[in-house]
Structure 1
């Protein structure tokens, strides 16, 4: 009888143990290290671009290094920005590396600590001695013909000022720099990292422009995490690793790789 009881007790413990392990395996905290996460990207060189079916860029290198340190595999897919944000809202994507924080997006996205801060500068052709890119007030720029890129916002104050200016709209930053070079416009506002990456990719542009000493805006870029993703429970870990990547110079080195 004792033998049967001991056998039953042993079997019961084994079943309880297996049941416990099964329920733990369903927990995000338990299975996170083995999970492959889905990250969204959008066409925004040099942060994201797609060549020969492969997504690459500054943001791609950062997320791969970050999540490798967390033993998490990543799948990165390109979408139009509007769809990428919709996937974060629906929980179809776990996150997006380079994102500006807005009140509207905070309804469905949690943000990490800042990843990178980039400056918006005023650019002009180097041979335009009649154009002054430095300004005391934004309004000092109103007399100039200015180029902008279709679909871009340069900050509310700058966007409002554009209503008082002669504006030439181009379909890409690259095309606007080409127009700036041949004096089809006087000035062009552009993200410094994007501009320098274009100069590296297109040597005919390098050394042909000057820029303002001061920025007209600073864009603070975060990683956005879908509120429906299990990554929400790991944001503190992500922030810790982001701090390590900054302190080690990894982020700075990655940006330089695409801009110098």
Structure 2
């Protein structure tokens, strides 16, 4: 017949000082105070057959409270380290207005981070540099947004998810004589490309881009289009018209000749960023998509 296991013997939390029935030291000046009472208290862990917990020496009540608070009030995850979030100047999605970083993408990403409770800082740098920084396997706690996702980039980042979609087209100037009815037609013309842009990379690798010129951002690309240094560019019509208007160019002269694809804007993290941070941001993104917050931000910029 099996016998019930005897309960583990548990020692008291406080071990009284020798010669004392109460574990706390007497107050200074107490008439019965002796040398033994000056010894510090010892907090004992629970001693059982299976484990012996360490002993801590406590010299006053304040230290005791501090230790107990540390034991019982530890947070599950600490986000003391700030996430640096990179993107590039790409109006109206990302831009600087009156000295403030703004734009529809920037406002969405800012809302995602605020909702997650993770501290962050947004920086605009050239697009190729942003990808290089966040794609570095040795770095952690960095993020990038307005990033298209493809097979080449799949293993470079920790993907949080898509927050917005845009249509990408071959754009030309009206009355330029350029006609693009298929991807094969593109080879006839000089195309303006942005360094590091996902659609530009794919079209070039598939052989649809002939003669071309590369610049660091869409602003320079659109200026080249108006100066007729290139005959077509690949970007969003909304973005191109906004940039043209902001730079004193005739926005209504730009037209879409051929739609290439609909591209999702992603938020992604550097590979060494913790899974806890990824999870917080992923949940935050889904909440804002479901409750309509992101759609409201987009509507404000239409």
Question: Is residue 102 of structure 2 the alignment partner of residue 56 of structure 1?
Answer: yes
> TM-score, normalised on structure 1?
0.71
Of 9-18 and 92-101, the range deviating more from structure 2: 9-18
What CA distance in whole angstroms lies between the structure 1 residues aligned with 2:156 and 2:212?
35
What CA distance in whole angstroms lies between the structure 2 residues aligned with 1:119 and 1:208?
19
Please name the residue that 1:189 is paired with. 234
Please name the residue that 1:99 is paired with. 147
Relative contact order, higher structure (CA 8 A, sep 6+)? 1
SS of the equivalent of 1:72 reads coil
Of 233-242 and 81-90, the range deviating more from structure 2: 81-90
SS of the equivalent of 1:112 reads strand
1:131 aligned to which of 159, 178, 182 = 178
| Partners of 2:162 and 2:265 within 8 A in 1 | yes
| Partners of 1:148 and 1:167 within 8 A in 2 | yes
If each structure's helix is expressed as a fraction of its own residues, which one has the higher value?
Answer: 1
| Aligned residues: CA RMSD | 3.8
What CA distance in whole angstroms lies between the structure 2 residues aligned with 1:2 and 1:83?
70
> Could you list the per-position Cα deviations for residues 136-186 of structure 1 after superposition, in whole angstroms to 9, with x for gaps in the alignment?
xx113333x2321352541434444355x3435556533443444465544
Please name the residue that 1:220 is paired with. 264
1:243 aligned to which of 245, 262, 286 = 286
Structure 1 residues 51 and 36: alpha-carbon distance in aligned structure 2, compared to 1, 3 A threshold: farther
What CA distance in whole angstroms lies between the structure 1 residues aligned with 2:250 and 2:295?
23
Gaps of 5+ in 2: 1-19, 25-40, 45-60
| Partners of 1:124 and 1:133 within 8 A in 2 | no
SS of the equivalent of 1:207 reads helix
Q: Please report how far the alpha carbon of residue 20 of structure 1 lies from its aligned counterpart in structure 2 after TM superposition.
A: 1.6
Q: How many residues align?
A: 246
**For the pair shown, which has the larger CA radius of gyration, 1 or 2?**
2
What CA distance in whole angstroms lies between the structure 1 residues aligned with 2:238 and 2:295?
11
SS of the equivalent of 1:215 reads strand
Of 53-62 and 166-175, the range deviating more from structure 2: 166-175
Please name the residue that 2:10 is paired with. none
SS of the equivalent of 1:3 reads coil
> Could you list the per-position Cα deviations for residues 176-233 of structure 1 after superposition, in whole angstroms to 9, with x for gaps in the alignment?
4344446554432223453243144245322112213x63133322111223334x31
Please name the residue that 2:166 is paired with. 118
SS of the equivalent of 2:170 reads strand
What CA distance in whole angstroms lies between the structure 2 residues aligned with 1:200 and 1:226?
35
Structure 1 residues 253 and 70: alpha-carbon distance in aligned structure 2, compared to 1, 3 A threshold: same
Gaps of 5+ in 1: none
